[in-house]
Chains A and B, each alone.
Chain A
Amino acid sequence: QKEVEQDPGPLSVPEGAIVSLNCTYSNSAFQYFMWYRQYSRKGPELLMYTYSSGNKEDGRFTAQVDKSSKYISLFIRDSQPSDSATYLCAMKRPLNNFNKFYFGSGTKLNVKP
């Protein structure tokens, strides 16, 4: 069993839709959670970073962490064609000076004009 599971999609939505992306994980020691956006043949770009449980909002993006269910989500409001990319969740344990991130396999999102 992989430590981080993510539905690969593809997920296709019309412009303006609310998008929900999710990951589940098995290691209860994970405390830091990130969402990255990756365009084709480019490096991942950090979108959201949250610590422990709770919600965090940044513009059209909202990240949620439910540690009791080992489940994290990223919501995109008013989706745009420019949001079309692969979204990767990542997480790590709270070890100082050690940044091993565990990634999901990514969900490919297509926002249709």
Chain B
Amino acid sequence: ETGVTQSPTHLIKTRGQQVTLRCSSQSGHNTVSWYQQALGQGPQFIFQYYREEENGRGNFPPRFSGLQFPNYSSELNVNALELDDSALYLCASSGTYNEQFFGPGTRLTVL
């Protein structure tokens, strides 16, 4: 059984650019959530995908968007990058709805 994987590991972008981050969920898990973790803070919920539909969103603007594919893998897209978007982006998958297993994260730096 493979765990949650994310790519890329690190990414450097400039303000105004767009970025796509990718996640493969743990085998058998059909729910994927995305979190943003700023330095020294706990993860903040961005949104969740269940069976290819977004079914919950945190306090993030529409320039944060996502997709989930039939194999339950997922993408997070961020448009018009701002300096404050610099953070560790975490993907988590769950199958029982109560436990979440996180991937290693993608560290995004916006210059």
Residues of A at the B interface (CB closer than 8 Å) are 4, 6, 8, 32, 34, 36, 41-46, 49, 51, 88, 90, 92, 96-106
Contact among A8, A51, A103 with B43 in the assembled complex (CB-CB below 8 Å): A103
Judge whether B98 and A6 touch: CB under 8 Å: no
* Binding-face segment, B61-69, B72-80, B101-109: B101-109
Residues of B at the A interface (CB closer than 8 Å) are 4, 6, 31, 33, 35, 40-45, 48, 50, 55-56, 58, 88, 90, 92, 94, 97-105, 107
Give the A-B contact count at a CB cut-off of 8 A: 77
Q: Contacts A97-B50, A99-B94, A100-B56 known; A46 to B42 CB distance under 8 Å?
A: no
Judge whether B56 and A98 touch: CB under 8 Å: yes
